[in-house]
Amino acid sequence: MTIRFNPDDKSAQHHNAHHCLEITVNCSPNIDHCIIRSTCTVGSAVCVSGQGACPTIKHCNISDCENVGLYITDHAQGIYEDNEISNNALAGIWVKNHGNPIIRRNHIHHGRDVGVFTFDHGMGYFENCNIHRNRIAGFEVKAYANPTVVRCEIHHGQTGGIYVHEKGRGQFIENKIYANNFAGVWITSNSDPTIRGNAIFNGNQGGVYIFGDGRGLIESNDIYGNALAGIQIRTNSCPIVRHNKIHDGQHGGIYVHEKGQGVIEENEVYSNTLAGVWVTTGSTPVLRKNRIHSGKQVGVYFYDNGHGVLEDNDIYNHMYSGVQIRTGSNPKIRRNKIWGGQNGGILVYNSGNTAEPWRKVYNQPFQ
């Protein structure tokens, strides 16, 4: 079956209905193998709204619409499986105002806006979706939205993969996030998502980018092969970064700058082209119990007033020194094991300093 909404006045000035298919309070139809099209420039092709609205929509094609593809709002729920959602003028899917759908195995691609947009307390469970080649982010979270996104592929976005901003939250677990033009994950403006167990790789910029007072838990991810830093923390952002593997990047492993903060602990950072960790421009992270090794330059590099704490780390086998401190930097360095650097263990120069006595630094060959 094909369902079409083609109003003569596409702007909706002369009609009240803004949706091709509308499902409202306490309605729970089964909709299967339908083609749904709308040329109206407002509203959505499919709108599910209100308490008790709980349809099952499967194997449908919601594409080529001049508005949002699927819109779920006002406490609506429902099951949405195996749908094709593509080439819509606005988001492929909107979830808003405590909407809480289950969305599985949907193919959401080539949108002229974002792939999935959750905002204004929108929720939802997204599993095994393929989200790619959308003009803006693959998945956007804003304004207290809190979706759960599990085992999806989010890739080849024309900007970023996942964008969490303006106090967004969300759990992103065991996804593959790759080959996006900007960062695989962006976190900003007091947002606090959980990014756990994902593979974040081969991005045209960085892996995870946390800026503008971003927060978040970045845990147990495999981050590799990105063109810029695997994780970048800047402008008063303060995430928890732990148990990640950050490796084989074309730039540095972790880059903390412009008053970046955060707790960075028990990560393995290795085989990156530039420094394993850079700390600069007034930044004060805590780096604890990390293994930072086998880099092509410095292990940990403090410069231009980079500060913070470096304690209980293993730093070894770098092409340059294990640690460099320069140009007004003054970190606290204690109880580290630093060995195998081809240019020495700790190099302090150009007005660098360290607040800790040298006798507290392990800085000799380690067997």
Asked if residue 129 lies in contact with residue 151, where contact means CB atoms within 8 angstroms, the answer is: no
Domain range holding 259?
A: 183-367
Closest residue by Cα to residue 211 from 272, 162, 259, 140: 259
What is the structure's pLDDT at 353? Answer: 82
Per run of 10 residues, the mean pLDDT along the chain (length 367 residues) is 82 64 97 96 95 98 96 98 97 98 98 98 98 97 98 96 98 98 98 98 98 98 98 98 98 98 98 98 98 97 98 97 96 96 90 59 41
What is the structure's pLDDT at 366? Answer: 38
What is the structure's pLDDT at 358? Answer: 41
What is the structure's pLDDT at 361? Answer: 41
Residues 205 and 76 placed together within one structural domain of the fold: no
Asked if residue 47 lies in contact with residue 31, where contact means CB atoms within 8 angstroms, the answer is: no
Residues 236 and 317 placed together within one structural domain of the fold: yes
Amino acid 245 reads: K
Domain boundary among 145, 169, 193: 169
Residues 162 and 21 placed together within one structural domain of the fold: yes
Q: Look-up: residue for tokens 């292990």? A: 299
Tell me if 359 is assigned to some domain. yes
Tell me if 240 is assigned to some domain. yes
Asked if residue 154 lies in contact with residue 139, where contact means CB atoms within 8 angstroms, the answer is: yes
Residues 33 and 162 placed together within one structural domain of the fold: yes
What is the structure's pLDDT at 227? Answer: 98
- 280 backbone φψ class: left, alpha, beta (φ>0; ψ -120 to 50): beta
Asked if residue 57 lies in contact with residue 84, where contact means CB atoms within 8 angstroms, the answer is: no
Tell me if 178 is assigned to some domain. no
Q: Which pair of tokens denotes residue 325? A: 């401190």
Alpha-carbon distances of 280 from 28, 209, 272, 324, 352, rounded to whole Å: 56, 16, 18, 12, 12
Rounded to whole angstroms, how far apart are CA atoms 49 and 362?
A: 62
Burial (CB count <10 Å: 0-12, 13-18, 19+), residue 30: exposed
What is the structure's pLDDT at 110? Answer: 97
Rounded to whole angstroms, how far apart are CA atoms 88 and 66?
A: 6
What is the structure's pLDDT at 363? Answer: 46
Tell me if 176 is assigned to some domain. no
CATH label of the domain that carries residue 282: 2.160.20.10
Q: Which pair of tokens denotes residue 151? A: 């085992």
What is the structure's pLDDT at 145? Answer: 98
Domain boundary among 108, 139, 169: 169
The number of domains in the chain is 2
CA atoms within 13 Å, Cβ hemisphere of 117: 21
Residues 132 and 190 placed together within one structural domain of the fold: no
Tell me if 175 is assigned to some domain. no
Closest residue by Cα to residue 86 from 70, 69, 109: 109
Residues 161 and 234 placed together within one structural domain of the fold: no
Buried b (16+ CB within 10 A) or exposed e, 293-321: bbbebbbbbbbbbbbbbbbbbbbbbbebb
Write down the pTM of the prediction: 0.94
Domain boundary among 144, 169, 194: 169
